[in-house]
Amino acid sequence: MPTYEATSTAPVNIAVIKYWGKRDTALILPTNSSLSVTLDQDHLRSQTTSRCDESFEKGDRLWLNGKEEAVKADGRLGVCIRELRKMRSEVEQGDEKLPKLSQWPLRIASYNNFPTAAGLASSASGLAALVASLAQLYELPQSPSLLSCIARQGSGSACRSLFGGYVAWREGTSSDGSDSLAEEVASRDHWPEMHALICVVSDKKKGTSSTSGMQRTVETSPLLQHRLTLVPGRMKEMESAIASRDFDAFAALTMADSNNFHAVCLDTSPPIFYLNDVSRALIGLVEELNRASKEATGHLIAGYTFDAGPNCVIYALEGNIATVIRAVQRYFPTEAAFPDPFGVLGGKEAGEVDVK
Ligand code: ADP
Ligand code: DP6
Ligand code: CO
């Protein structure tokens, strides 16, 4: 029997209304709905190759960026693998001629083309790519909604990376998680002028993982309860900002929600500090750009957001992104980390900038 192999990629998504807290840690059901923008495939992404072979030694194994990670049967990765294997096994039962791939050990290799575990949503693209590559290997009917549900059990934010464009993850009300689903609220084409500038402040692994950080917040932060009363209104406002392509509302809500999320981290006991001095300086820069822009044009120019890490994502429209990049490079002058991903500078200048 040959080795069967499949490779898939999945992009990162950066939330503008953040998911932070689980009401069910096993199924990964969130305490609030969230909304994100999926970046284009050719920028920040995970690429995962899955292989299976009858002759592989027993047990599944996974390498992340060349380093082996444990695959525990009841851990996050193990649960995703189990679900997909079960689906394959059902297909095999219906067709005797199919090779019994579901019974063979797996070897999985994944690479992220951006910093891992540094607050740039590697668990989102990583688990989405893992699920997509196994679905391809097993030749499963690839409904994004079903795959998204499985990816959610690997990492909550991963459920949003199975869709492109503007994506909402509805918290749902059922206890089995059947209605805790991601869905596209608008396509990339609906608002093609939107750009995301990734400012890499640090590529180091964060001290507190998202999983343990948010659990500590749920257990200790009184401010989280207040946040949970704000989010439903913000979800509605964000969806209408996107529907009407209202950048001022989009940017204002994005910044407010990022700041509220980091306030909740500070309110956690012991407190979690994801932002550093450079992160705060970037906030100051965007606030200043917005103040000047508001004075000159009546409109905002950019909106910053930070996930669970010090790295900054700045959303801006096509007509303004070059101005924002120039300002960032002027105040944080370092070598470009990546080539211009959006082509907005018409050449080789940086669109993702390294501001370490
Ligand atoms: P991030 O902010 O990057 O999402 P998290 O703390 O949420 O950080 O998750 C980081 C963890 O996600 C990693 O330590 C690893 O276990 C997992 N992960 C990241 N990338 C991948 C990948 N490509 N394939 C499988 N797992 C991954
Ligand atoms: C701040 O999805 O990484 O990026 O579900 O425990 O794997 P787990 O956490 P994860 O949390 C993401 C938190 C966030 C906000 C967001 O992406 O919505
Ligand atoms: Co994550």
Element (H, E) at 263: helix 247-266
Q: Residues with Cβ within 5 Å of ion ligand 3?
A: 123, 210
Joined tokens for residue 347:
């050449």
User: Residue type at 183?
Assistant: E
Q: Are 3 and 302 in contact (CB under 8 A)?
A: no
Residue 283: predicted pLDDT: 98
Calculate how far, in angstroms, residue 294's C-alpha sits from the geometric centre of ligand 1.
38
Task: List, in order, residues 6 or more apart from 332 with CB less than 8 Å away.
Answer: 199, 278, 281, 282, 353, 355
pLDDT, one tens digit per residue, over 50-83 is 999 999 999 999 999 999 999 999 999 999 999 9
pLDDT, one tens digit per residue, over 101-111 is 999 999 999 99
Q: Are 138 and 103 in contact (CB under 8 A)?
A: no
For ligand 1, what atom is nearest to the CA of residue 119? 2
**Cα 184 from Cα 38, distance rounded (Å):** 10
- Does residue 310's CB lie within 6 angstroms of at least one atom of ligand 1? no
**Cα 123 from Cα 46, distance rounded (Å):** 9
pLDDT, one tens digit per residue, over 109-157 is 999 999 999 999 999 999 999 999 999 999 998 789 999 999 999 999 9
Most distant pair of Cα atoms in the chain: their distance: 71
**With 50 as the cut, is the pLDDT of residue 237 above it?**
yes
- Does residue 352's CB lie within 6 angstroms of at least one atom of ligand 1? no
Of the candidates 14, 23, 16, 107, the one whose C-alpha atom is nearest the C-alpha of residue 58 is 107
Residue 342: predicted pLDDT: 47
DSSP secondary structure string for all residues of 332-350: S---BSS--SS-TTSSSS-
**Cα 103 from Cα 60, distance rounded (Å):** 11
Residue 335: predicted pLDDT: 57
**With 50 as the cut, is the pLDDT of residue 166 above it?**
yes
**Cα 21 from Cα 27, distance rounded (Å):** 13
The model's confidence at residue 353, banded by pLDDT at 50, 70 and 90, is low
Question: Could you give the C-alpha distances from 265 to 195, 311, 322, 343, in angstroms and in order?
Answer: 27, 16, 32, 36
Q: Which residues face 353 on adjacent strands?
A: 199, 336
Joined tokens for residue 340:
């211009």
Measuring from each residue's beta carbon to the nearest atom of ligand 2, which residues come in under 6 Å? 15, 18-20, 28, 34, 121, 123, 155-157, 210-211, 307-308
